[in-house]
Structure 1
């Protein structure tokens, strides 16, 4: 069951990257914020749902690979990312958010290291 969760998170990473690539420049600046919010929600939600850092890492990696693939211009001259501030913010913001979500420390529910003793 856990493997299916990771496969689903990977597919969602590809879908969010494709949707974000289309929306981020189409409805600038609202689309950019929407695309980044969707990516952050996926990365953090994957980590929380699977209770592991791998739950954030899988969609981050596939999101990044998809965005890199979509950013390459084709011989016909077609491309999804124009040279501008919006696409760079989407790319760098998504990468930073992914790294943050994948490296956040996980606390188990029984961890009482911050509890005060003797009171």
Structure 2
């Protein structure tokens, strides 16, 4: 990750105007990074971890029922309850961008 952060991936609508699901990684001050699961253009859950810009790292998200669990550096880091998860059905015109959220939303990795 560079110092600006951005979307690791994003599935956007046919008009490239809204993120239906994505993972946004952003700096949070000088020594922390915020990782957010974005659904329907809203961060439904976020996790604050130590800064890992310019470094390889491992993390994972697990979603079971209404609980999102975050694993950082191969260890269970935290769990958060989510009040409502939307239907994850997507339009056939959805586009998947890697390291970006498309040309309009941008905010991709450099």
User: So what's the TM-score if we normalise by structure 1?
Assistant: 0.22
The structure whose residues are more often strand, as a share, is 2
What TM-score comes out, normalization by structure 2 length? Answer: 0.23
Q: Which has the higher helix share?
A: 1
